[in-house]
Amino acid sequence: MGGAVSAGEDNDELIDNLKEAHYIRSELVERAFRAIDRADYYLEEYRDSAYKDLAWRHGNLHLSAPCIYSEVMEALDLQPGLSFLNLGSGTGYLSTMVGLILGPFGVNHGVELHVDVVDYAYQKLDHFIKTSDSFDKFEFCEPTFVVGNCLEIPPESRQYDRVYCGAGVQKEYENYMKNLLKVGGILVLPLEEKLTKITRTGQSSWETKKIIAVTFAPLVQPKQNVNGRPRSVPLPIFEVRTLQDLSRIAIRHTLRQPISMGEGRTKRRVSFPGARAMHRYGPRFERRRFCRRFYRQCVNSVVLHDSMIPTAMDDCNYPGGVEEEEEEVEEEEERSCRRVREDLPEEDEDGCGTEDEKSKGGCARAEPPVNILREKILRLPLPEPLKMYLLYYREK
């Protein structure tokens, strides 16, 4: 199943194609898809096929086509804090994307039939947490996987806000799947050759919507044990987070949040009105610091635009007789910036600088983006072991 969109050269181009074909329609789903490289879930020798809109299978490992995952993610209507159950969780690719949306207070469970696939999923999850910059850009709900047949879940098990089944569901198991949902929950599953969205509107009422035609391998029928009774597959345990874990989540959340101060600017968070003016580094100090920082950028930049010239900040106009002096400082800095800009060599249309610079080696490559959260944590006045804990012991 797949082939609905053209192949991409990389993950971003694949997502662009899915957006253009209207498989990805929401910004939240787009961010999750861009954050995780699909090729990371392929075996190394098959990575060249990762950006095609095709399903992939090798032994027990399986990934659905990107267009299918797109429709599933859109249909699930995910929100932070919800509980999610993935039946046939496979490599963990979908569960990891879902975890980026659910956030740290969601629930993210998966049931997979094959032991080797669960091991593979945990390997990929560990690799994502330790090496991907996306882990620091999102608040993540880490998935938990168990081995077993999803048709052997006890009927008294808890219910979920969102459920997805990654195998073709026979009609006789439709009610079994529905009973895994809370009221108001959404179930997405392949049913009678159609990807179907079922919403539980009441204790015994449902709304059903057919999405697209699909072809999935059918669910594996449960095997009976010696006594003639089916096995029971317990779902993952819901564990209450420790105070230490909650503290880590809160600290990372605080450090991750920029405080809006207007276009392209940020300011320090304050705990109560007027606190910033009372700080020993009050508005006068911050305005001068901003201007000095901007002046250094003027010196180091190749091209400056008039729109980048600093202007007076509305929230800095505190009484105290410093406004006129500050305006004089700003005007002087602006004049200095303009002089620097006029003295800088003009840049070519392709952004490569002057002809002399091109002849000496062409355009300088842009430096890789800085992981701001990591840098903030490393600058905290804390013992190294505590910093590493806040970083989830990530290697980079």
Please report, for residues 138, 165, 213, 215, 220, the alpha-carbon distance to residue 168 in angstroms, rounded to integers and kept in the order given: 32, 8, 12, 8, 9
Longest dimension (CA), the chain: 90
- Compute how many other C-beta atoms are within 10 angstroms of the C-beta atom of residue 107: 19
Question: Given CA atoms 126, 127, 129, 134 in this order, what sign does their dihedral have?
Answer: negative
Answer yes or no: 336 catalytic.
Answer: no
Cα gap 163→85, rounded to integer Å:
5
Three-state SS sequence of the chain: CECCCCCCCCHHHHHHHHHHCCCCCCHHHHHHHHHCCHHHHCCHHHHHHCCCCECEEECCEEECCHHHHHHHHHHHCCCCCCEEEEECCCCCHHHHHHHHHHCCCCEEEEEECCHHHHHHHHHHHHHHHHHCCHHHHCCCCCCEEEECCHHHCCCCCCCEEEEEECCEECHHHHHHHHCCEEEEEEEEEEECCEEEEEEEEECCEEEEEEEEECCCCECCCCCECCCCCECCCCCCCCCCCCHHHHHHHHHHHHHHCCCECCCCCECCCCCCCCHHHHCCCCHHHHHHHHHHHHHHHHHHCCCCCHHHCCCCCHHHCCCCCCHHHHHHHHHHHHHHHHHHHHHCCCCCCCCCCCHHHHHCCCCCCCCCCCCHHHHHHHCCCCCHHHHHHHCCCCCC
**Of 33, 91, 88, 87, the residue nearest 57 (C-alpha):** 91
* Spatial distance between the Cα atoms of 65 and 163, rounded to a whole number of angstroms: 19
Tokens matching residue 19: 């957006």
Tell me which residue has tokens 């694949």.
14
Which of 26, 64, 89, 204 is flagged as catalytic?
64
Residues with catalytic annotation? 64
